[in-house]
Amino acid sequence: MCTLTESVLYNFSQLIYENLGIKLDETNQEMLKARLNRLMLKSNIKNYSDYFKELTANKGAPIWSEFVDEITTHMTSFFREDGQFKFIQENIKSITQINQRIIQNNEIRVWSAACSSGEEPYTIAMVLKEALPENIKIKILASDISNGIIQKAQGGVYPQEIKQNVAPLLLDKYFKLKDGSYNISEEIKSMITFRTFNLMNEFPFKNTFDMIFCRNVMIYFDNKTQSNLVNKFYNFLPKNGMLFIGSSESLAKIDHIKLKYVRPSVYMR
């Protein structure tokens, strides 16, 4: 493998920032280099500049999807940051009563906006199914920039370790143990639509979402990108719609934030 110069590394970092919104700094250089090496080996390209040219000329092609899958970090789990789900369970009555949209339409629309391998939207589906009255239809959009991870999410197959995070009652009710893995039930799957979507793009939706989950992805974005994104979310929340962010994230530095603080990492329009 040839050497990676500062300027070529900078070109890759800019490419990632401009297309994925992810801001890499010096502390990420070794990680980026290792990931680039893996990708180039896979594509049988020996030179960083050639790989860069191939990538930029073929956005949308498999080489680009593989790059996005490798650059993004997909760590997630069922019931991650459980406090938010407890908050929903405990306050479901008031959450639905103050949101006219839910009552008028007898449906709740939720967006898991960086859903990774599906644990987040499946958790949301189980929590809402347990908490809401039968007559309210649960509709969840789950999206992620990584095509590979969306395919995994759609499969809904998880290792036995999920027992550490999913309560036995829910495991029993909403999963089937098959060939040593837990398969999410069709009932829960049918509540979710999976899509590949880049949060840097304009939102193509006609309707608002009663709840938006955008957790543990804004940490990779700079302040400007976070501000743009949160303001876009604002436009897709109805009155009293809620935004859930990751517990290590904050909206404190977001310009012109119009969302009201509800509790740590939960905001309301």
Ligand X SMILES: C[S@@+](CC[C@H](N)C(=O)[O-])C[C@H]1O[C@@H](n2cnc3c(N)ncnc32)[C@H](O)[C@@H]1O
**Which of 47, 198, 207, 223 is close enough to bind ligand X by CB under 6 A?**
198
* Shorter beta-carbon distance to ligand X: residue 67 or 101: 67
CA separation for the pair 196, 76 (Å, rounded): 17
Note whether 151 binds ligand X by CB under 6 A: no
| CA within 13 Å, CB half, 24 | 22
Note whether 139 binds ligand X by CB under 6 A: no
Site string for ligand X, 32-71 (x = CB under 6 A): ----------------------------------------
Per-residue 3-state assignment (H helix, E strand, C coil) for 80-149: CCHHHHHHHHHHHHHHHHCCHHHHHHCEEEEEECCCCCCHHHHHHHHHHHHHCCCCCEEEEEEEECCHHH
* Shorter beta-carbon distance to ligand X: residue 72 or 96: 72
* Shorter beta-carbon distance to ligand X: residue 45 or 114: 114
| Alpha carbon 95 to its chain's center | 22
**Helix or strand or coil: residue 46?**
coil
CB of 150 to ligand X, least distance (A): 9
CB of 78 to ligand X, least distance (A): 9
* From 19-27, 86-94, 122-130, 258-266, span contacting ligand X (CB under 6 A): 19-27
Note whether 13 binds ligand X by CB under 6 A: no
DSSP string, 169-227: HHHHHHEEEETTEEEEPHHHHTTEEEEE--TTSPP--SS--SEEEE-SSGGGS-HHHHH
Note whether 14 binds ligand X by CB under 6 A: no
Helix (H) or strand (E) holding 245: strand 242-245
**Helix or strand or coil: residue 266?**
strand
> How many residues make contact with ligand X (CB under 6 A)?
23
Note whether 109 binds ligand X by CB under 6 A: no
Site string for ligand X, 203-222 (x = CB under 6 A): ------------xxx-----
Residues at the contact surface with ligand X, assessed by CB under 6 A:
20-22, 72-76, 80, 114, 116, 120, 144-146, 149, 198-200, 215-217, 246
